[in-house]
Amino acid sequence: MPTLLITGANRGLGLELCKQFLQSEWKVIATCRNPESATRLSVLKDKYPKLLSIHTLEVSNGDHINELKTQLGETPIDILFNNAGVYAAESAEFGSSDAVVWLDAFKVNVISPMKMMEVFVENVANSDRKIMANMSSKMGSIAETSTDGSIAYRSTKSALNMVIARVALDLKEKGIITLALHPGWVRTDMGGANADFSTEESAISLIKIMNNASIKDTGKFFDIDGSIIPW
């Protein structure tokens, strides 16, 4: 049975990805900061008691990541999905940069995905699908920078893209497919109510991209329609 390990699984895109993988009878290792208050994940647990496990993971806490590794041991992980992210709204515009907010976003959006990939690399290498999926954003594309602010957020996703491009080279010989994925503009707490896509639509497209991905695609930055986004 294939296995997904995903961060930020209690709401938004993370929750929807859990739902869709469970519907396809994957084993899902869902992580979130506060399992006690993750009511929508608990509902899924009632529906899929054998397939779903829920674990505490504040992604910027190295002890939490190591504890999860201890719990999972050598379990093969077909897809490690680094989904958790923050927007850093208080550091979005020129003239409002805030080092504390920015550094916190950098930890969550850049360093934590790197740590997850480092700690779980052998679990992914020992699986069938061997995918490290990372939720990036078109906002991290320097080539496609538009006029709105989001400066701190954009910079973290640009940095994440570099991590992905570099890690993809390191892990290629293990057969690991390392991906940067843009989920579209999605109606979540982060994306807001006016966004283009529902979480259902976005997750369907993301899963299609991952299903079609092979080692030839490692280190690529995919848009939601499967096209390539310029860095």
Q: Which residues bind ligand NAP (CB under 6 A)?
A: 7-8, 10-14, 32-33, 57-60, 83-86, 108, 135, 137, 182-183, 185-186, 188-191, 195
- In angstroms, the CA 198 to CA 193 distance is 9
- In angstroms, the CA 81 to CA 132 distance is 6
N-term to C-term CA, the chain: 35
- Shortest Cβ 175–ligand NAP spacing (Å): 25
- Shortest Cβ 114–ligand NAP spacing (Å): 14
- Shortest Cβ 128–ligand NAP spacing (Å): 25
Q: Which is nearer to ligand NAP, 195 or 204 (CB)?
A: 195
Q: Which is nearer to ligand NAP, 127 or 136 (CB)?
A: 136
- In angstroms, the CA 142 to CA 41 distance is 35
What per-residue string of b and e applies to 2-28 under the rule 16 or more CB within 10 Å gives b?
bbbbbbbbbbbbbbbbbbbbbeeebbb
For residue 29, report the phi and psi dihedrals to the nearest 5 degrees.
Answer: -100, 100
Q: Which is nearer to ligand NAP, 76 or 85 (CB)?
A: 85
Q: Which is nearer to ligand NAP, 11 or 129 (CB)?
A: 11
- Shortest Cβ 136–ligand NAP spacing (Å): 7
